[in-house]
Structure 1
Amino acid sequence: MADLFFYGTLCHVPLLELVAGRAREELDLHPAVLPDHAAYWVEGEAFPLIRAEAGGAARGLLARGLSEAEVARLAFYEGGFSFDLTPKTVHLDAGGTAQARFFLAHDGLWQAGAPWDLAEWQRLWAPVNMRAAAEIMDWYGRLTPDEMAPRFGPIQRRAFSQVLATHRLADPVRDVARDVRVAEHRRAYLKFFAVDEMDLQYRRHDGRMSTVLNRAALLVGEASVVMPYDPRLDAVLLVEQFRAPVFMVGDPNPWVWEPVAGLVDAGETPEECARREAMEEAGLTVTRLEPAGKVYSSTGSSSEFLNLYIGICDLSQVPSGGGGLVSEGEDLRSRVLSYDELMAGVDAEAFRDMPLVTTALWLARHRDRLRAEATGA
């Protein structure tokens, strides 16, 4: 049996229950303080680090009597953050002290930000982390902590997109809690993307439940797509890059022209993502974003949700060379096309990227307004 002290996200008891695999009523929890230490937000992240600090007091929870199996589950979860267990003396709120171990980050791994605030984390991040933890723990026993570590970022991104999805408008007639039944949910694949598989039933239009169906979905996340448009030049910018799925299907031309696009990071707005990707992929500063739609890219196979934009910008001096992040395996080149060239390509079916065609058609409907606004005509 082991006693562990938690100072960060695992002080959120529902998360601790999920990770440890034990119900709240079965956990022996005690509010406690680790003296001469302080917890801080990790700069740019949604979890804390702890460090020795004279006079400090890191508040948290002491969990007593955890089994070896529960400690192994917790170590797997925390292992994705590169933490190690270290023994220390903690002071219980009820009086007395206890020896406990806690998860301590390797020195120099992250930069400390503002003082840690559990209540603020619960308000902003608890629903996301609960979904991420559920996916992580479903892989316990199938992956090692080292194998899980590079997958955590994509998991967090997908969890964030799932929370966003729950806030979209519900069907005014149907209720998914009543009209969809899940017999079994399996997580079949996990790397940069994930594949989930379900045996499920849904309510048919005649009111009866369907037979049990086996379905799978590619879990991607939420993305922003922005077609840069200069209304004064009446021109757009497109980027070309190699697309592995197009190659995998056997297409002899897997280099595809597209608008600028990228996945929305956890905690990021779609607008922030669109502006960031315009700079990363094309070196462009977008002065204004025109919303051009919010759509699923392929409802029969993928969970990817697209935020489409026309990005008003200056294309008179486009940076030369390629774009994209080498760390993400990107190798892009850009091209400026006149509006007429763009639409001729759409009409000739020369473009094979659905978001490109969709944003081009939106631009066709609103081009006159955008040009009049730019010229003051």
Structure 2
Amino acid sequence: MTDLFLTGCLRHAPLLETLLGRVAPEGQPAQLPDHALHWTADLSTPVVIADKGQAVPGVLLRVSEEELARLDYFQGAFGLHLAELQVEAERGVIEAQVFLSGPGAEPGPALEFDAWQAEWGAFMTRVAVEAMGWYGRLGPEGLRSRLRGIRLRAAARTAISAHPDRAGHDVTQDVNMIEHRFAYADYFGMEEALLQFRRYDGSMSAPMARSCLATGRASVILPYDPVRDSVLLIEQFRAPLYLGGDPAPWLWEPIAGMIDPGETPEQAALREAEEEAGVILSRLETVGAAYSSSGSSMEYCHLFVGLADLGGAGGVGGLASEGEDIRSAVISFDDLMEGIDRHLYRDMPLLVAGHWLARHRDRLRAES
């Protein structure tokens, strides 16, 4: 058994229990002298840094070699490593293992644990659930390379779990998860399950094998210039269309992008419009929010019409770091609707946003 000093996100009990694979005891109160708890510079992770005269509160816990390996697997993906330091505990000064940031890591602002726990605890626990689903199957570097997608999916699950219950069902009683596994993970993921659900006659269904394309939440934005009565569309290559055999896998769409952890759908909409098409939106009109394909995917889309001055807009853009090569073009509202009526457009969010705009166009033009 090893003495381990826990601070930062590891003090969040649901997260710790997910990582350990067992109910965690409270541990012994302790502190790490001459150190302080900070965010990383990108505000993604709590880290412990040397800071003379300060002390980091935490708890001292006895863990097995396997439990320490599980914790090291998760923390290592965030660039943290174990070091042996002296910790002050009730039973005196103890040599304990502590997770520290790697060499050269730039600290951000000081972190207050209660505030972090309230805002990020549930999210990080969901990150841990998927990450530990790969323990023993995927190496530490492989997990690190997939963290972005895992974080996007965790943020989506955290937000989706807060949706109101509109169906009148109790999922704790009306769904029985028999088996579950993470089958694939990268930017997107794939999950497989064997489950039952309660039928409308009150009985439970037979066990069913189902799969789910696991993604994050997305913001979808159709820029509209009410003065010029025109919209901006983007065109890009879509690999799923090509893989499905479509001879025309370049698709005209609204602007769209994944919502980052800690970001609102509105913030993501403003960011994506600028990144993908160089458009600055002056206002967002909410079209709605819905699942894009509920039979196969957990993707939840927030749709907007964004008001903008589209004079001079158009061209080629996107982020090279994300492999984007995006062409944008400004067309009239009449051309958009003619294209919809002639079934030229094949992107569902574009059809939804276009029909919403047709119903609200007169108001938007009157307000401009």
Q: TM-score, with normalisation over the residues of structure 2?
A: 0.97
In 2, distance between residues paired with 1:10 and 1:155? Answer: 18
- Which of the residues 174, 180, 184 maps onto 2:175? 180
1:370 corresponds to which residue? 364
Q: How does 1:246-325 map to 2 (within 5 A)?
A: 246-318=241-313, 321-325=315-319
Instruction: Say if 1:243 and 1:254, in contact at 8 Å, map to a contact too.
Output: yes
Q: How does 1:317-356 map to 2 (within 5 A)?
A: 317-318=312-313, 321-356=315-350
In 2, distance between residues paired with 1:148 and 1:173? Answer: 38
Q: Deviations over 1:43-88 (max 9, x none)?
A: 3434212221111112222222x21111110111111112221111
Q: How does 1:127-138 map to 2 (within 5 A)?
A: 127-138=122-133
Question: Does residue 10 in structure 1 map to residue 20 in structure 2?
Answer: no
C-alpha displacement of 1:114: 2.1
Q: How does 1:143-162 map to 2 (within 5 A)?
A: 143-162=138-157
In 2, distance between residues paired with 1:297 and 1:243? Answer: 16
- Which of the residues 205, 212, 215 maps onto 1:217? 212
In 1, distance between residues paired with 2:112 and 2:42? Answer: 14
1:23 corresponds to which residue? 23
Q: Secondary structure at the match of 2:317?
A: coil
C-alpha displacement of 1:6: 2.1
2:81 corresponds to which residue? 84
Q: Which piece of structure 1 moves more, 12-21 or 295-304?
A: 12-21
Instruction: Say if 2:336 and 2:354, in contact at 8 Å, map to a contact too.
Output: yes
Counterpart amino acid of 2:137? R
1:108 corresponds to which residue? 104
In 2, distance between residues paired with 1:305 and 1:181? Answer: 23
Q: Secondary structure at the match of 2:86?
A: strand
Counterpart amino acid of 2:360? H
C-alpha displacement of 1:172: 4.6
In 1, distance between residues paired with 2:249 and 2:108? Answer: 43
Counterpart amino acid of 1:331? D
In 2, distance between residues paired with 1:286 and 1:90? Answer: 52
Instruction: Say if 1:31 and 1:62, in contact at 8 Å, map to a contact too.
Output: yes
C-alpha displacement of 1:95: 4.8
2:226 corresponds to which residue? 231
Q: In 2 relative to 1, CA 131–73 (structure 1 residues): closer, same or farther, beyond 3 Å?
A: same
Q: Secondary structure at the match of 2:117?
A: helix
In 1, distance between residues paired with 2:341 and 2:14? Answer: 54
In 2, distance between residues paired with 1:339 and 1:282? Answer: 18
2:193 corresponds to which residue? 198
In 1, distance between residues paired with 2:64 and 2:198? Answer: 43
In 1, distance between residues paired with 2:168 and 2:47? Answer: 46
Counterpart amino acid of 2:175? V
In 2, distance between residues paired with 1:14 and 1:203? Answer: 28
In 2, distance between residues paired with 1:176 and 1:244? Answer: 35
C-alpha displacement of 1:294: 0.6
Counterpart amino acid of 1:67? S
Q: Secondary structure at the match of 1:24?
A: coil
C-alpha displacement of 1:242: 0.8
* Sequence identity (%): 47
2:53 corresponds to which residue? 55
Q: Unaligned stretches of 5+ in structure 2?
A: none
C-alpha displacement of 1:339: 0.3
Instruction: Say if 1:46 and 1:125, in contact at 8 Å, map to a contact too.
Output: no
- Which of the residues 9, 15, 36 maps onto 1:38? 36
